[in-house]
Amino acid sequence: MEYLIGAIAGLIYGGIVAFLKGRFLWKRSLESDTPEHLGGVMAASAISFAVNVLALALIFFLRGVLPFHWAAALIAAAVAVSVIQPYMISRYKPKETAEE
């Protein structure tokens, strides 16, 4: 039961991290699709990677305090971030316009 609670908590935590990254980081970075904006997208990608590492490191460093199994929470959080982040990015990506 400890693993199940840890997995559910990890899914919720990873989902929140991915949602907040998509909302505050990727939305602003993907508003424009001009070539000059490519540096902003590259910076957002690096920041996104750092946020992922910090979010997972937080679970690892709090492993002695967490009331559930930390490994289950860590794996579930990584899965949630991996699944939700591409959805959030595609949601804020500029739509392709059909040129005639």
Question: What tokens does 34 get?
Answer: 């001009």
Q: Does the pLDDT value for residue 12 go beyond 90?
A: yes
* Max CA pair span of the chain: 61
Residue type, 39: G
Average pLDDT over residues 61-72: 89
How much is the pTM? 0.78
Which pLDDT belongs to residue 22?
Answer: 83
Domain ranges of the chain: 2-92
